[in-house]
Structure 1
Amino acid sequence: MAWPATTRYGLPVAPGNLGLVQDFLNTITEGTIAPPDLLATLNDAQEWADQVIEQWISVDDLGWAKTLPRLTENDRKALVAFRDQLFEGLFGHSHSETAGGPARKNPTYHPVMTVSAGGIELWPGGEGWKYFETALLLICHQGQLEGVLRRMKSCKSDTCDVVFYDRSNNNSGVWHDVKLCGNRANVRAHRARSAVN
């Protein structure tokens, strides 16, 4: 089993549970290769969800992964809106052209804290897909604390938002695919310089 959205771009995946966040964000339609948006229809979203939950269960080291109920159309729409919010929160821009409009809400998520002999533990709260969304946020929070979330990046290309995990030593990667998006940007820059001369 593999992360279905990320592997379709031929990318290595982020480590552990962070792979779930990367895969969720990579359900988008990227501008040039244009694979389908995996959350575009209820059937597509359910197919992605079934695969991603199975993969998440296989790599989860936090004990958070669990089988979730079938998606409804309202769940699908909520996941698309949440994906846009997560793009904005992590990368400072939204993937969707309609995100950030006046009708948009910023929901509150409620993790659960427990005290045990091992100390204080944080768990995703909520039911169904609210649980899934809360888990994604907690995984991002843990990634912030561990200093690895900064390696999760959205491709710098104007026509591409594919999310990649930067494994370079100095965390300097900017393209999800240097040959594809990097070369395109270099050609545009060369043409712009040539037009000026």
Structure 2
Amino acid sequence: MTEGTGRYMAWPATTRYGLSVAPGNLGLVQDFLNTITEGTIAPPDLLATLDSAQEWADQVTEQWISIDELGWAKTLPRLTENDRKALAAFRDRLFEGLFGHSHSETASRAGRNNLTYRPVLTVSTEGIGLRPDGEGWKYFETALLLICHQGQIEGVLRRMKSCKSDTCDVVFYDRSNNNSAVWHDVKVCGNRANVRAYRERAASH
């Protein structure tokens, strides 16, 4: 996927940060995680209200259908308030599962358990495969996990990272040759960390 194209612009949450998006379906996972409100720039949490969540869902599912490489994308029902709350809770658990820490300060200890979903095993002339299962937005959640699983197999999931800054959890896709990037924006978060470290060193002398 190329930056600056219409497809790049269609990922609404990630585009807010001017970031390069993860390839293929992994861009959906990145966008879902980037619906958070980030501590420095502080854009709104896109799952905070039913209206904003529905607007995000409409855009992101349309984009997913347009780029889907696995045949998993489909139109999903309109969100209910219960759906919105469930997606926000799932986002927090997925965030912690992928990056080892929770974005939400109100995350419950129960949310730190392993995520368990049941995909469907399929058999065809191409071999045995997995497909998402579940009704409504549970299907979407299962699909996100399977996309992560596919990214893990392909070796690209490790390039999707949460910014190292203490005040920023923006999820970026590391395209550096040695997969060494730690900041979603070196000029913002990286520079801020360097300034803080310099002041701490100066204060200790």
Q: TM-score, normalised by structure 2?
A: 0.93
CA distance, structure 2, for counterparts of residue 158 and residue 194 of structure 1:
21
CA distance in 2: counterparts of 1:102 and 1:11, whole angstroms: 32
Q: What is the CA–CA distance in structure 2 between the aligned matches of 1:104 and 1:60, rounded to whole Å? A: 30
Aligned-CA RMSD value = 1.3
In 1, Cα distance between equivalents of 2:195 and 2:127: 55
Match of 1:134? 142
**For residue 68 of structure 1, what is the amino acid of its counterpart?**
L
Whether 1:72 aligns to 2:104 is no
Unaligned runs of 5+ in 1: none
- How far did residue 121 of structure 1 move? 1.7
Deviation sequence 1:158-187 (CA, Å, 0-9, x none): 000000000000000000000000000000
Provide, for residues 100-125 of structure 1, a one-character-per-residue CA deviation record: whole Å limited to 9, x for no partner: 33577765311011111111121000
Which of 180, 183, 187 does residue 195 from structure 2 map onto? 187
Structure 1-normalised TM-score?
0.97
Counterpart in 2 of 1:58? 66
The residue number in structure 1 matching 2:108 is: 100
Letter in 1 for 2:196: R
* Map of 2:20 onto structure 1: 12
User: 2:128 is matched with which residue?
Assistant: 120
Q: Determine the C-alpha separation between the residues in 1 that align with 2:66 and 2:112.
A: 34
5+ residue gaps, structure 2, are 1-5
Length, aligned pairs only: 197
CA distance in 1, matches of 2:67, 2:192: 35
Post-superposition Cα deviations, 1:48-92, rounded to whole Å, max 9, x if no partner, equal 000000111111010000000000111101101100111111000
> What percent of counterpart residues are identical?
85
